[in-house]
Protein backbone atom coordinates (compact mmCIF):
# COMPACT_ATOMS: atom_id res chain seq x y z
CA UNK A 1 0.00 0.00 0.00
CA UNK A 2 1.41 3.41 -0.99
CA UNK A 3 1.53 6.46 1.25
CA UNK A 4 -1.17 8.09 -0.88
CA UNK A 5 -3.42 5.05 -0.48
CA UNK A 6 -2.89 5.06 3.28
CA UNK A 7 -3.64 8.77 3.45
CA UNK A 8 -6.91 8.26 1.58
CA UNK A 9 -7.97 5.48 3.97
CA UNK A 10 -7.06 7.56 7.01
CA UNK A 11 -8.82 10.65 5.69
CA UNK A 12 -12.03 8.73 4.96
CA UNK A 13 -12.07 6.81 8.25
CA UNK A 14 -11.37 9.81 10.45
CA UNK A 15 -14.20 11.71 8.79
CA UNK A 16 -16.50 8.76 9.46
CA UNK A 17 -15.44 8.46 13.10
CA UNK A 18 -15.38 12.18 13.92
CA UNK A 19 -17.73 14.11 11.63
CA UNK A 20 -18.17 16.73 14.34
CA UNK A 21 -14.88 18.06 15.69
CA UNK A 22 -15.33 20.95 18.13
CA UNK A 23 -12.22 22.87 19.15
CA UNK A 24 -11.19 21.27 22.48
CA UNK A 25 -10.13 24.55 24.10
CA UNK A 26 -13.09 26.72 25.02
CA UNK A 27 -12.74 30.31 23.83
CA UNK A 28 -14.75 33.29 22.67
CA UNK A 29 -12.36 35.03 20.28
CA UNK A 30 -8.79 34.87 18.94
CA UNK A 31 -7.32 36.39 22.10
CA UNK A 32 -8.95 33.97 24.53
CA UNK A 33 -7.95 31.09 22.26
CA UNK A 34 -4.36 32.33 22.18
CA UNK A 35 -4.21 32.46 25.97
CA UNK A 36 -5.81 29.03 26.26
CA UNK A 37 -3.29 27.50 23.87
CA UNK A 38 -0.40 29.03 25.82
CA UNK A 39 -1.85 27.49 28.99
CA UNK A 40 -2.25 24.09 27.32
CA UNK A 41 1.50 23.44 27.12
CA UNK A 42 2.16 20.27 29.15
CA UNK A 43 -1.40 20.47 30.49
CA UNK A 44 -4.68 18.79 29.59
CA UNK A 45 -7.43 20.65 27.76
CA UNK A 46 -9.81 19.70 30.57
CA UNK A 47 -7.65 21.49 33.12
CA UNK A 48 -7.26 24.51 30.88
CA UNK A 49 -11.04 24.71 30.38
CA UNK A 50 -11.49 24.63 34.15
CA UNK A 51 -9.00 27.46 34.62
CA UNK A 52 -9.73 29.92 31.83
CA UNK A 53 -13.22 30.93 33.05
CA UNK A 54 -11.64 32.07 36.31
CA UNK A 55 -8.88 33.93 34.51
CA UNK A 56 -11.18 35.53 31.95
CA UNK A 57 -13.60 36.63 34.66
CA UNK A 58 -10.75 38.86 35.81
CA UNK A 59 -9.45 39.83 32.39
CA UNK A 60 -10.69 38.71 28.98
CA UNK A 61 -8.97 41.35 26.82
CA UNK A 62 -5.30 42.24 26.34
CA UNK A 63 -5.93 45.64 27.92
CA UNK A 64 -7.40 44.12 31.07
CA UNK A 65 -4.81 41.33 31.26
CA UNK A 66 -1.84 43.66 31.15
CA UNK A 67 -3.26 45.50 34.17
CA UNK A 68 -2.95 42.33 36.25
CA UNK A 69 0.40 41.57 37.81
CA UNK A 70 2.27 38.44 36.80
CA UNK A 71 1.79 37.21 40.37
CA UNK A 72 -2.00 37.59 40.10
CA UNK A 73 -2.09 35.68 36.83
CA UNK A 74 0.20 33.02 38.25
CA UNK A 75 -2.08 32.38 41.23
CA UNK A 76 -5.05 31.78 38.94
CA UNK A 77 -3.30 29.56 36.41
CA UNK A 78 -1.24 27.50 38.87
CA UNK A 79 -3.34 24.32 38.25
CA UNK A 80 -2.12 24.35 34.62
CA UNK A 81 1.52 23.91 35.59
CA UNK A 82 4.55 25.99 34.59
CA UNK A 83 2.64 28.91 36.09
CA UNK A 84 5.52 31.41 36.48
CA UNK A 85 6.58 31.10 32.84
CA UNK A 86 3.02 31.07 31.49
CA UNK A 87 1.98 34.06 33.60
CA UNK A 88 4.93 36.06 32.35
CA UNK A 89 4.16 35.07 28.76
CA UNK A 90 0.44 35.90 29.00
CA UNK A 91 1.09 39.29 30.53
CA UNK A 92 3.89 39.97 28.05
CA UNK A 93 1.95 39.01 24.94
CA UNK A 94 -1.04 41.01 26.17
CA UNK A 95 1.10 44.11 26.53
CA UNK A 96 2.65 43.59 23.10
CA UNK A 97 -0.77 43.18 21.51
CA UNK A 98 -1.84 46.50 23.06
CA UNK A 99 1.33 48.39 22.18
CA UNK A 100 1.83 47.12 18.62
CA UNK A 101 -1.46 45.77 17.29
CA UNK A 102 -4.24 47.83 18.83
CA UNK A 103 -5.21 45.06 21.22
CA UNK A 104 -5.99 42.63 18.40
CA UNK A 105 -4.42 39.26 17.67
CA UNK A 106 -2.62 39.57 14.32
CA UNK A 107 -3.63 37.18 11.56
CA UNK A 108 -0.02 36.50 10.63
CA UNK A 109 1.95 33.35 11.46
CA UNK A 110 5.31 35.11 11.64
CA UNK A 111 4.06 37.99 13.78
CA UNK A 112 2.33 35.60 16.17
CA UNK A 113 5.61 33.80 16.79
CA UNK A 114 7.17 37.06 17.94
CA UNK A 115 4.78 37.16 20.91
CA UNK A 116 6.10 35.91 24.27
CA UNK A 117 5.37 32.23 24.86
CA UNK A 118 4.11 31.63 21.31
CA UNK A 119 5.89 28.99 19.25
CA UNK A 120 5.05 27.61 15.85
CA UNK A 121 2.43 25.11 17.03
CA UNK A 122 0.58 27.70 19.12
CA UNK A 123 0.63 30.17 16.23
CA UNK A 124 -0.68 27.54 13.79
CA UNK A 125 -3.50 26.55 16.14
CA UNK A 126 -4.61 30.19 16.34
CA UNK A 127 -4.37 30.61 12.58
CA UNK A 128 -6.43 27.47 11.97
CA UNK A 129 -8.99 27.60 14.76
CA UNK A 130 -9.45 31.35 15.23
CA UNK A 131 -9.01 32.59 11.67
CA UNK A 132 -9.84 29.53 9.58
CA UNK A 133 -6.53 29.69 7.73
CA UNK A 134 -5.30 26.31 6.37
CA UNK A 135 -2.72 24.86 8.76
CA UNK A 136 -1.71 21.51 10.19
CA UNK A 137 -0.43 22.11 13.75
CA UNK A 138 1.41 19.04 15.04
CA UNK A 139 1.08 18.03 18.68
CA UNK A 140 2.39 14.87 20.35
CA UNK A 141 -0.63 12.78 19.26
CA UNK A 142 -0.33 13.83 15.62
CA UNK A 143 3.45 13.37 15.57
CA UNK A 144 3.07 9.83 16.94
CA UNK A 145 0.16 8.78 14.74
CA UNK A 146 1.76 10.13 11.58
CA UNK A 147 4.74 7.86 12.24
CA UNK A 148 2.61 4.81 13.11
CA UNK A 149 0.64 5.33 9.90
CA UNK A 150 3.74 5.67 7.73
CA UNK A 151 3.07 9.28 6.74
CA UNK A 152 6.39 10.67 8.02
CA UNK A 153 9.70 9.49 9.40
CA UNK A 154 9.19 11.67 12.48
CA UNK A 155 12.66 13.19 12.49
CA UNK A 156 11.16 16.54 13.54
CA UNK A 157 7.79 18.14 14.19
CA UNK A 158 8.36 20.54 11.31
CA UNK A 159 9.04 17.63 8.96
CA UNK A 160 5.89 15.86 10.15
CA UNK A 161 3.90 19.02 9.47
CA UNK A 162 5.30 19.25 5.94
CA UNK A 163 4.68 15.58 5.23
CA UNK A 164 1.08 15.78 6.41
CA UNK A 165 0.41 18.88 4.31
CA UNK A 166 1.72 17.00 1.28
CA UNK A 167 -0.33 13.89 2.10
CA UNK A 168 -3.74 15.56 2.44
CA UNK A 169 -5.62 18.25 0.49
CA UNK A 170 -5.36 21.74 1.93
CA UNK A 171 -9.10 22.04 2.51
CA UNK A 172 -8.89 19.10 4.93
CA UNK A 173 -5.95 20.26 7.07
CA UNK A 174 -7.90 22.09 9.77
CA UNK A 175 -10.42 19.31 10.34
CA UNK A 176 -7.84 16.55 10.10
CA UNK A 177 -5.67 18.25 12.69
CA UNK A 178 -8.52 17.91 15.17
CA UNK A 179 -9.58 14.45 13.97
CA UNK A 180 -6.05 13.13 14.48
CA UNK A 181 -6.11 14.47 18.03
CA UNK A 182 -9.49 12.93 18.85
CA UNK A 183 -8.39 9.58 17.42
CA UNK A 184 -5.13 9.69 19.36
CA UNK A 185 -6.90 10.47 22.62
CA UNK A 186 -9.96 8.24 22.37
CA UNK A 187 -9.00 5.27 20.20
CA UNK A 188 -5.22 5.08 19.81
CA UNK A 189 -3.53 6.50 22.93
CA UNK A 190 0.23 6.11 23.26
CA UNK A 191 -0.10 3.42 25.92
CA UNK A 192 -2.93 1.64 24.13
CA UNK A 193 -1.46 1.12 20.67
CA UNK A 194 2.06 0.46 19.46
CA UNK A 195 1.23 0.59 15.78
CA UNK A 196 -0.25 -2.91 15.68
CA UNK A 197 -3.55 -2.76 17.55
CA UNK A 198 -5.91 0.03 16.56
CA UNK A 199 -8.16 -0.17 13.51
CA UNK A 200 -6.26 2.26 11.30
CA UNK A 201 -2.84 0.82 12.19
CA UNK A 202 -4.04 -2.69 11.33
CA UNK A 203 -5.74 -1.54 8.14
CA UNK A 204 -2.73 0.38 6.84
CA UNK A 205 -0.16 -2.21 7.92
CA UNK A 206 -1.87 -5.61 8.13
CA UNK A 207 1.46 -7.44 7.93
CA UNK A 208 3.28 -5.42 10.58
CA UNK A 209 4.95 -7.71 13.10
CA UNK A 210 6.96 -5.31 15.24
CA UNK A 211 5.83 -2.37 17.37
CA UNK A 212 6.54 1.12 16.07
CA UNK A 213 8.92 3.15 18.20
CA UNK A 214 7.69 6.63 17.43
CA UNK A 215 10.14 9.48 17.87
CA UNK A 216 8.99 12.05 20.39
CA UNK A 217 8.10 15.58 19.43
Which one of 11, 45, 108, 139 is the catalytic residue?
Answer: 139
Digit-coded pLDDT (tens) for 115-158: 999 999 999 999 999 999 999 999 999 999 999 999 999 999 99
User: What is the predicted pLDDT for the residue at 44?
Assistant: 96
User: What is the predicted pLDDT for the residue at 191?
Assistant: 87
Nearest to 139 by CA among 181, 168, 110: 181
Let me know the angle formed at the C-alpha of 16 by 168 and 156, rounded to the nearest 5 degrees.
35
User: What is the predicted pLDDT for the residue at 59?
Assistant: 98
Digit-coded pLDDT (tens) for 32-74: 999 999 999 999 999 999 999 999 999 999 999 999 999 999 9
User: With bands split at pLDDT 50, 70 and 90, how would you rate the model's confidence at 192?
Assistant: confident
How is the chain split into domains, by residue range?
A: 3-21+136-204, 30-129
User: With bands split at pLDDT 50, 70 and 90, how would you rate the model's confidence at 217?
Assistant: confident
User: What is the predicted pLDDT for the residue at 185?
Assistant: 94
Residue 150 · residue 6 · CB < 8 Å: yes
The third-level CATH classification (topology) of the domain covering 30-129 is Endonuclease III; domain 1 (1.10.340)
Residue 19 dihedral angles phi and psi, to the nearest 5°: -70, -20
DSSP 126-178: HHHHTT--------HHHHHHHHHTTS---S-HHHHHHHHHHHS-GGGHHHHHH
Region 3-21+136-204: CATH code: 1.10.1670.10
Digit-coded pLDDT (tens) for 14-34: 999 999 999 999 999 999 999
The pLDDT of residue 102 is above 90: yes
Active site residue 108: no
Q: Mean pLDDT score of the chain, rounded to an integer?
A: 96
Q: Is 187 exposed, middle or buried (0-12, 13-18, 19+ CB in 10 A)?
A: middle
Active site residue 121: yes
- Range 71-85 average pLDDT: 98
Specify the pTM.
0.94
Amino acid sequence: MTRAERAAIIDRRLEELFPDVPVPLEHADPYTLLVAVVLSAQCTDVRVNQTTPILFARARTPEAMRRLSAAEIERIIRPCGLAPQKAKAIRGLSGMLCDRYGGRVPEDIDVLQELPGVGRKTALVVMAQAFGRPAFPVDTHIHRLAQQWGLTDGRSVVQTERDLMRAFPEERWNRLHLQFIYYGRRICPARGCDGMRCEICRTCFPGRRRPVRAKKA
